[in-house]
Amino acid sequence: FGIIEWPIDDNPAFIRQTDSGTELWRHETFVAMASFYGPSGMKFASIFRDGISVEQNNSELNRMGLTLGDVSSITPFPELINQQWLRRYDITVKIRRKVTRTYNIKSIVDGNVAISTGD
């Protein structure tokens, strides 16, 4: 099991602009791949796929600030190890999270500014 891609939302939102700062909200998606080996690999990949889709399991992800985005099809991918073909089955899972960061960017409320046009 490992993260193979970490694309980001290209459109972060700046929310809650106050006199003391602003918040940036961005949605990130983790793409993770799990591989299951051996004669029972297909069975365990199928159990994993179905189990991660159960609402109770997504609730546990929610407690950590994550949510299930998508689950791929199971891909058979035989692998040659020590001159022997080993059955391997891959599945990818997309998990999303919202990242909130606070920046101490002050807003300009009033300024003593004079604009000169050069005339």
Full-model pTM: 0.69
Integer CA distances (angstroms), 37 to 23, 40, 50, 71, in order = 44, 7, 18, 19
Does some domain include residue 55?
A: yes
| Nearest Cα to Cα of residue 31 among 83, 90, 62, 71 | 71
Residue span of the structural domain in which 60 resides: 2-103
Spatial distance between the Cα atoms of 2 and 86, rounded to a whole number of angstroms: 20
Q: What is the pLDDT of residues 76-109, one digit of tens each?
A: 988 888 999 999 999 999 999 988 888 887 666 6
Domains: count for the chain: 1
Whether the per-residue pLDDT at 40 is higher than 80: the answer is yes
Percentage of the chain surpassing pLDDT 70? 93
**Average per-residue pLDDT in the chain?**
86
- Residue 45 and residue 73 in contact, taking contact as beta carbons nearer than 8 Å: no
Helix (H, G, I), strand (E, B) or coil at 105: coil
Does some domain include residue 113?
A: no
pLDDT at 109: 64
Does some domain include residue 109?
A: no
